[in-house]
Structure 1
């Protein structure tokens, strides 16, 4: 392994994620804002604890009460006036349902002069949920969507219709109280109604689009679930004000700045990456080969969210799979590396944030009796990268603004 390239990769990851943490953004959103009645905080998503902690510090005793629901192992301590819950992601579980009910109990008596401060980040679709079908069926449908390679917009088009809180329905339940939503975007283009399935945003998707997703991927739904897909969601809300803060575009810009500080010339290829993870990895490897002997170090940056189509029963995530798929293309290059990370610090159902490969990775896999093609067919990038010291482990970061992948060439 090229230790110098790996060191640069670690520095880029650490500093670029640090630049998009939501603390300052939440403080800016609340700065100078006056609330007349009670302030009830509801925070949901992978960055919920970080956002709620910043809000509680800003509001002090002006915060009446709050409910925070985030992913397992993402609560970093107590927050004044708030009760924190941890729940299932990417598949909702009973703790998701219980935490959401606690949030609904909190806001059910909110009056016209009160404000619900709604702090939302990616992952909220699973964590903030009151299903209109059985929990078991919702988990099954979510599993089907993850396995078939549906993108996040397609997934949320279905999930918001199977929920009592998504697609603007949470804001309806808060009325007559006002909802002030601060949203950390994890979806390309920042479509408000799709981030965490838009609990406080009018829904732009239609029943016809939801039914088309079922047909496209040959999903299996009960008659009750199919009836839910035919019930239209709110198209207008007059009690909501929203601020978007943070996005993958900012993450790419932060990565570019760190690369420049390290002596690389950064090139942002896209902040709208949306394809199969292994295709993105192969593409970045091709770029590295095209610039195999640059006059000065180059860094090619791609932000977005790829998908994985499950063909095996291994362990991994989209960022690990992207990185591993690049190993074949840059094999033998002593001056190139490709790595990809999820800004939230988790990648799929693993403890890794992503993966790193360089010109020595393929040979190391072969020495262990593995091939890149075989590992990808089994979707087992985690164990393969573990053998090559290619796992990137950051722990929960407190933010969630999609993924960033880089090809470094010296």
Structure 2
């Protein structure tokens, strides 16, 4: 089916364009760093960013450590210790790897420079708790936040005030060593204090805000955790320079270019979607139906492109992710429309606790699902989008991509068949 092929092409080419390898090298070419350099990398793109930097730095490179998500390491890198740990929930490997990174940093001569490579996912992966808060409680708090519908800024505000490394505290621990941070953004608006919970950036969030979030979502915290939230994070740092190399805006611009190369008229709906995933999918599906029926004007064939980080308020016990849930919700609205497809994909290649990156649905998807499940509506209500999309052959599986700049949503509509 041409529409599905086009959607797949646009997704793959757009993600290729935001892989961090070339961007890291370009950033380093504009930096004038004198003396020896050590790499610390955290996040889902840590391996690719580290490999690119290590290959570029030559004799200045003295060694380093990279911490990424399970399955995201692509092999050994000379003079680099590579750790893998849990995401989106920190695990013991997260704590152990962070402890080793802090130990390594303490051995770096004060006159040397730390090249700090940051990408999405760093907030969960890079963790050492305040006041010996247990990993079990930290996991429980993170699960409460993820299931509550809290947005990424709210989640990171809590994480920063329970941590010894987030919210500028890592940079404070590194001082007086100078840090050059290269950052791949997965946060809408590219707030440097929020990406990976801002370990090397002054923290704009406050203890008072953290306490309001606890009240807003009725989070259950121990007295030890409540006490940790009372301590402020650093509001100024003098040993860090930050360079931003990638974001969802760039991802969407690339999608526009590649859609146009396939003959589509393009429109960027938004690069800052952060509503409920199912609501976004439903709305986009309804928009497609209006365009097909002539209720909405659009020059066909058209590609409507959006980016952001939708949320899912977990109400069931199914398996899925925000991109899969968005695609499943859209499938109900575009059912019976052969000239429409919708794809939603995580740029990092993972969507929730699944092997899928997202979903790609068309006008026949819902009918294919009903061959296996009579109550597809029930699957959506149970947050069981992975099962539904697997049954219709509509999962997008890319494997880890090596980048992480939020999610890409593509709605393609062609002229009605004669």
The reply to whether TM is greater than 0.5 is: yes
Q: Distance in 1 between matches of 2:358 and 2:349?
A: 8
Match of 1:4 in 2: 2
Match of 1:339 in 2: 343
Q: Distance in 1 between matches of 2:390 and 2:365?
A: 11
| Pairing of 1:287-366 with structure 2 (within 5 A) | 287-292=287-292, 295-366=299-370
Q: Distance in 2 between matches of 1:88 and 1:105?
A: 20
- Aligned residues of 1:92 and 1:126 also touching (Cα < 8 A): yes
Tell me by how many angstroms 1:81 deviates: 1.3
- Aligned residues of 2:265 and 2:299 also touching (Cα < 8 A): no
Tell me by how many angstroms 1:136 deviates: 1.1
The 4+ residue runs of structure 1 with deviation greater than 6 A are none
Q: Distance in 1 between matches of 2:31 and 2:242?
A: 13
Q: Distance in 2 between matches of 1:75 and 1:174?
A: 25
Give RMSD over aligned pairs: 1.1
Report the TM-score, using the length of structure 1 for normalisation. 0.98
Tell me by how many angstroms 1:7 deviates: 0.9
| Pairing of 1:206-225 with structure 2 (within 5 A) | 206-225=206-225
Q: Distance in 2 between matches of 1:32 and 1:351?
A: 37
Match of 2:75 in 1: 77
Q: Does 1:102 align with 2:106?
A: no
Tell me by how many angstroms 1:78 deviates: 1.1
Tell me by how many angstroms 1:4 deviates: 1.8
SS of the residue corresponding to residue 292 of structure 1 reads helix
Match of 1:252 in 2: 252
Q: Distance in 2 between matches of 1:60 and 1:174?
A: 23
SS of the residue corresponding to residue 64 of structure 1 reads strand
Tell me by how many angstroms 1:295 deviates: 4.8
Match of 2:181 in 1: 181
- Aligned residues of 1:181 and 1:243 also touching (Cα < 8 A): yes
- Residue of 32, 37, 42 corresponding to 2:40: 42
SS of the residue corresponding to residue 232 of structure 1 reads coil
Q: Distance in 2 between matches of 1:387 and 1:38?
A: 54
SS of the residue corresponding to residue 251 of structure 1 reads helix
Q: Distance in 2 between matches of 1:370 and 1:78?
A: 48
Q: Distance in 2 between matches of 1:35 and 1:264?
A: 45
- Residue of 391, 395, 405 corresponding to 1:391: 395
- CA 1:328–1:32: 2 relative to 1, 3 Å: closer
Tell me by how many angstroms 1:201 deviates: 0.3
Q: Distance in 2 between matches of 1:370 and 1:60?
A: 60
Q: Distance in 2 between matches of 1:156 and 1:201?
A: 13
Report the TM-score, using the length of structure 2 for normalisation. 0.96
| Pairing of 1:139-288 with structure 2 (within 5 A) | 139-288=139-288
Match of 2:128 in 1: 130
- Aligned residues of 1:351 and 1:395 also touching (Cα < 8 A): yes
SS of the residue corresponding to residue 340 of structure 1 reads strand
Q: Distance in 2 between matches of 1:146 and 1:77?
A: 31
Q: Distance in 1 between matches of 2:364 and 2:211?
A: 47
Q: Deviations over 1:95-154 (max 9, x none)?
A: 111111111111113344211100000000111111121111111101111111111000
- Aligned residues of 1:131 and 1:163 also touching (Cα < 8 A): yes
- CA 1:32–1:361: 2 relative to 1, 3 Å: closer
- Aligned residues of 2:36 and 2:113 also touching (Cα < 8 A): yes
Q: Distance in 2 between matches of 1:217 and 1:295?
A: 44
